Amino acid sequence: MMETLEGGELCFPQLLNTSCRKQKRPHSEAMLLYILLSSISLLTVVLNLLVIISISHYRQLHTPTNLLLLSLAVSDFIVGLLMPGQILQIGACWLLGDFMCALFYYASFIVTSSSVGNMVLISVDRYVAICDPLRYPTKITQRRVQICVCLCWVCSVFYTILILQDFQRQPGRYNSCYGECMVVITYIAGVFDLVFNVTAPITVIIVLYMRVFVVAVSQARAMRSHTVAVTLQRSVTVTAKKSERKAARTLGIVVVVFLICFCPYYYPSLAGQDTSSSTSYSTTTIWLLFSNSCLNPVIYAFFYPWFRKAIKHIVTLQILQPDSSYLT
């Protein structure tokens, strides 16, 4: 009777000596946790799918900038699809085997790093558009953006192979029992990941967006200085101030959200420790990292009027009408 009871607490009762034990949680707490995480996963998938459908379907949205937003939405959409795999690990029972465990971590690292890369490309696009608008059409072409997007994904794949080189030799080497899916990032790999996946991207984003903000402010002041009529000056002043506030707000949101979502995950690297996916702290930080993919479409797409209009067309099923690809 005791063996049966103990076996019932195991992920694989038939493997009494090697199976992991199920993590015990109060039923109400477990249900609340599953509902919350499932909601984040579903919201991430839905929001990014709306961006993908909007940009792919409506021809007016086939621009270099929107192509970058599309690539970002695709990577974040895949993150949303991977979130249920992280939910499976809450109970400390991975039932899909070592191969699927390795595939899950490889896919997770690839899409999160590509998401960061796409954010950097978007900041470069905005920098050129604001700081060099006359040469923007010749510098940022559809062809060049397509090449940059492909390079971003290819680099993400090679980057992941480099970071997980110890893990790929033997996917289950860090598992302490059967039914666990764990990866350990060494301190050196963690520091490398911190520099190239957080420090360098956020530095580029801050520098470029600050430059964009400075140029936007100078343009607004130039508009005010060339306005003679009092009525027009008041109108331009209000518009300029709104433009300044919007630029500053967007910059602040991008940087703050990025830091909040990414920095906790990299705390072990800052503290000189290996990063393990098995601790409750790591589970929380991974979910915080994934949540960035839920917030990206809100930051980068929902602020655009065309996206709100496209959502209205999709929700009201106007997208099913003939010639609906021409958004009016």
Ranges of each domain in the chain: 26-320
Residue 94, CA distances (Å) to 22, 37, 111 in order: 10, 17, 21
**Residue 117 CB coordination number (10 Å):** 23
Q: In a structure prediction context, what are the per-residue pLDDT tens digits for the chain, which is 328 residues long?
A: 344 444 457 777 776 677 777 767 677 777 787 888 888 889 999 989 988 988 888 888 888 888 998 999 999 999 889 888 777 666 657 777 777 888 888 888 899 899 889 989 988 888 888 888 888 889 889 999 999 999 999 999 998 888 887 776 666 666 777 777 777 777 777 788 888 888 888 888 888 888 877 877 776 666 666 554 444 444 444 444 555 455 556 656 777 787 788 777 776 666 555 555 545 556 677 778 888 888 888 887 777 777 788 888 888 887 877 777 766 5
Cβ proximity of 205 and 255 under 8 Å: yes
Q: Mark residue 92 as left, alpha or beta (left: phi above 0; alpha: psi -120 to 50; beta: remaining).
A: left
Question: Could you tell me which CATH number the domain at 26-320 has?
Answer: 1.20.1070.10
Give the integer Cα–Cα distance in Å for 289 and 258.
9
Q: What is the dihedral of CA 131, 137, 140, 142, to 10 degrees?
A: 150
Tokens 């301190």 correspond to 187
Give the integer Cα–Cα distance in Å for 301 and 70.
10
**Residue 259 CB coordination number (10 Å):** 12
pLDDT of residue 270: 61
pLDDT of residue 84: 80
pLDDT of residue 156: 93
